Amino acid sequence: MLLILLCHLESCNFDRNDQNIRHGEKLAVKYCSNCHLAPSPSLLDKKTWSDDVMPAMANQLGIEVLEGNVYLHTKQSVISNQDWAKLRAYYATLAPDSLVQKRSALVAKKSWSVFMLKKPPYDSTEISTTLMTTISTDNQHIYTSSMNNPGLDKWDKVFDKARLMPLKSAAVDLSFNDEKRIITSMGGMRAMDYTIGEIMLLKESGHKVTARKLSDIYIRPIQTRPADLNKDGLIDYIVCSFGHTKGGLFWEKQLPDKTFQKIAIREVPGATQTETGDYNGDGWPDIIALFAHGDEGIWLFLNDRNGGFITKNLVRFPPVYGSSSFQLADMNNDGKIDIIYTAGDNSDYSRILKPYHGLYVFLNIGNLRFSQPEFYPLNGCTKAMAADFDLDGDMDIATISFFADLKNKPEQKFVLFQNTSIPVKGRYLLQPFYIPIEKNGRWICMDVDDYDGDGDKDVVLGNFSKGFLNHEDFKADWDIHTPFVVLENRVKGQQ
């Protein structure tokens, strides 16, 4: 009889625990989905949920967090104490003790592939904090900007440097519109709402440089692109403002008197990157944009031809993914643009190695609908850029990983994925190459273009060697002084 009673009580406890877990899952959907996809407990380990993410979540729900993860409910709390306990229990119960890292089915080759290394003279007086590298094909120069002594610098083919102009903070983006250089300075590294950046328009004429300010009101602007969005013959600008709880995607609309009007396209923090084009074939420019930080994903903004946009989500990710870049390219030669996407930002609340960080390729199956992605695991993947590096008629991909597994897989800081399929419609096959430059720097930025004017695509990588070490008891084992390196493509030279 006692045994039956104990079994009954234990069964009741299991039922109660199961009910609490189901209730916790519903609470996660209810409270998390207001801002982003509700993350699965499996995406992080128990300790990270408990010590790092839950306190951040509590703040968003109006719960005061005291030392030792003590939670204090107030009148501003939007969730009851009982429901908060069930929500925490849901993640604590179902989260794994640790995350299992994924291994790629592809065997990487350690080789220079199509590249040879070039770098500027060694300078041991300064730790490299390069935040931007951009290739200009019109004058075959490299433009850079660093957190230390911020300004815009220009390097020629023999790596002589000229300071074009000082800046209040380092530039993180440079784009071109005819003779103008569009400079975006984000104002600081921290994703806080008080970090105000600056957008400048610069013009070079021989040795004369003139600059004027476009805007200094954006919260951490990280990209600015020119586009005539309303087809009035005046160049407008699309601005990505990352922010923390504020920010978004904005249109700097140029007016006939040459002033600008700020228009919000999607006022959600985390706007990271855009590409423009006529994506529905109506003759008007549309926008595809990546959002990170919270509600992560890629959105299409179709021009309604009346000063507004019709918004459509293309792909969406949980908020712990760390979306870091995207590009549009036809990977399988079927005439449709595919999405190349990277996840790997690891500077937020959950600074652990994540098995879902890496390179993703979403194939376009028609009408901007995308298939389940091909995935290539790369810890901390920061950026991917597609180009036909080996000039065989299909698209290859270069990747950098700032938050790579620096202890165990430093060779993944830069990986070339070479498309080995013959350019047949509907097919592609990537072969990874570990280019042996892991001792030359830690890459936070990258650009791809024909630097030397010989007809093939080169790569420039910016070295940031100050802080952001998520590994315990680890010191930089790479060159911390060289600001950037060039991977010069040798394909044309060998033909």
- Could you read off the pLDDT of 207-245 as tens digits, one per residue? 789 999 999 999 999 999 999 999 999 999 999 999 888
- Tell me the pairing of strands 109-110 and 430-434: parallel
CA distance 191 to 189: 6
Q: Identify the residue whose tokens are 């004058």.
A: 139
What average pLDDT score do residues 100-118 get? 92
Residue 4 has pLDDT above 50, yes or no: no
pLDDT given for residue 7 in this prediction: 45
Taking the C-alpha atoms of residue 459 and residue 446, their distance in angstroms, rounded to an integer, is 7
- pLDDT tens by residue, 415-460: 999 999 877 787 899 999 999 999 999 999 999 999 999 999 999 9
Q: What is the pTM of this model?
A: 0.92
Question: How many CB atoms are closer than 10 A to CB 319?
Answer: 24
Is the model's pLDDT at 3 over the cut of 80?
A: no
Band of pLDDT at residue 296, cut at 50, 70 and 90: very high
Percentage, residues of the chain above pLDDT 90? 71
The whole-number pLDDT of residue 11 equals: 44
Percent of the chain having pLDDT more than 70?
Answer: 95
What gap in Å lies between CA 349 and CA 54, rounded to an integer? 9
Determine the 3-state secondary structure of 54 from DSSP.
helix
For residue 47, give every residue at least 6 positions away whose Cβ sits within 8 Å of its Cβ, in sequence order, or none: none
Identity of the residue numbered 10: E
Question: How many Cβ atoms from other residues are within 10 Å of residue 210's Cβ?
Answer: 10
How much of the chain is helix, strand and coil, in % rounded to 5? 15, 40, 45
Distance in angstroms (rounded) separating the CA atoms of residues 405 and 413 = 8
Residue 106 — very low, low, confident or very high, per pLDDT cuts 50/70/90?
confident
Helix (H, G, I), strand (E, B) or coil at 204: strand
State pLDDT tens for residues 299-333.
999 999 999 999 999 999 999 999 999 999 999 99
Q: Half-sphere exposure of 44 toward its Cβ, with a 13 Å CA cutoff?
A: 24
* Sheet-wide strand order for 161-166: 130-136, 141-146, 151-155, 161-166
The residue-averaged pLDDT of 401-427 equals: 92
Q: Are 31 and 79 in contact (CB under 8 A)?
A: yes
What average pLDDT score do residues 181-205 get? 91
pLDDT of amino acid 33: 67
Q: Where are the domains of the chain?
A: 11-94, 109-164+321-494, 167-316
Question: How does the average pLDDT of the chain come out, rounded?
Answer: 91
Determine contact, residues 463/130, Cβ cutoff 8 Å: yes
If you write DSSP's letter for every residue of 240-287 in order, what string do you get? EE--SSS-EEEEEEEPTTS-EEEEEEE--TTEEEEEEE-SSSSSS-EE
Average pLDDT over residues 367-381: 95
Q: Is the pLDDT of residue 362 over 90?
A: yes
